[in-house]
Amino acid sequence: MKLTLKVWRQETKDAPGALQTYEVDDISPDYSFLEMLDMLNERLEEQGQRPVAFDHDCREGVCGACSMMVDGQAHGPQARTTTCQLHMREFTDGDTIVIEPWRATAFSIVQDLMVDRSAFDRIIQAGGFISVNTGSAPEANLMPIPKDVADDAFDAATCIGCGACVAQCPNGAAQLFTAAKIGHLSLLPQGQAERDTRAVSMVEQMESELFGSCSNFRECEAVCPKAISIDWIARMNRDYLRAKLKGVTRR
């Protein structure tokens, strides 16, 4: 395959950026999208040019690091996949592909396709954990949890924090991420003691960052590689409202 790539290049956070055009050929349809970028970088280095900076780690759809917009869609055209799971057979020989970083105020560009997603870390630090000392871990079967509850909690826990929901949302909202991180803990017995403070702390930390507000466009749900439903946002709003009515404040 021969492709034309329009890649966003930006030296630093404060430097001006622009799309640069590159031609790549001999691309196998079986290459992953990141392998294709690896090939581009090898050729750029051979020519004495700076390679394209982009985040990656596991390359197995688990870590969420491979964050980039491909032709205006978070993680590219294939549904329920991360960019590292996207293969070049999804494209056609001769295509022009536009590759950009996440476009969101809360995710400032570090360099080229890399963005700063530390706002997500701060939301987790605000309450996305269980701090109650419950002693040593009990035998799992001693704590009965209905299967439907366990399944729901697992669905939310599959969130990998990639940021696609924020990047695709016209408002740059982080409600889907925050709701998933609140929801999976709040459903389980271990998370009940801090359920109210968790909801208040994480929601208010989210609102203190530069994220927008959710207005139910559902773009987040459409591009989430783990198919997390916006139903979790409704659950989060309910938990937050209930906690505020009780007079709960953030930790």
Annotated domain spans of the chain: 3-103, 117-245
Are 187 and 194 in contact by the 8 Å Cβ rule? The answer is: no
The model's confidence at residue 140, banded by pLDDT at 50, 70 and 90, is low
Which of 3.30.70.20, 3.40.630.40, 3.10.20.30, 3.40.640.10 would CATH assign to domain 3-103? Answer: 3.10.20.30
Q: Which of 15-19, 122-126, 137-141 comes out lowest in average pLDDT?
A: 137-141
> Is the pTM of the predicted complex or chain greater than 0.85?
yes
DSSP symbol at 138? P
pLDDT in tens, 227-241: 999 999 999 999 999
DSSP symbol at 246? T
Confidence check: pLDDT of 132 > 90: no
Confidence check: pLDDT of 62 > 90: yes
Strands (E), 80-173: 96-100, 109-111, 114-115
Burial 105-139 (b: 16+ CB within 10 A, else e): ebbbbbbbbbbebebbeebeebbbeeeeeeeeeee
Confidence check: pLDDT of 102 > 70: yes
pLDDT in tens, 163-196: 999 999 999 999 999 999 999 999 998 899 999 9
Coil vs helix vs strand at 23:
strand
Say which CATH topology domain 117-245 has: Fumarate Reductase Iron-sulfur Protein; Chain B, domain 2 (1.10.1060)
Kindly report the backbone phi and psi dihedral angles of residue 5, in degrees, each rounded to the nearest multiple of 5, phi listed first.
-110, 130
pLDDT in tens, 1-24: 999 999 999 999 999 999 999 999
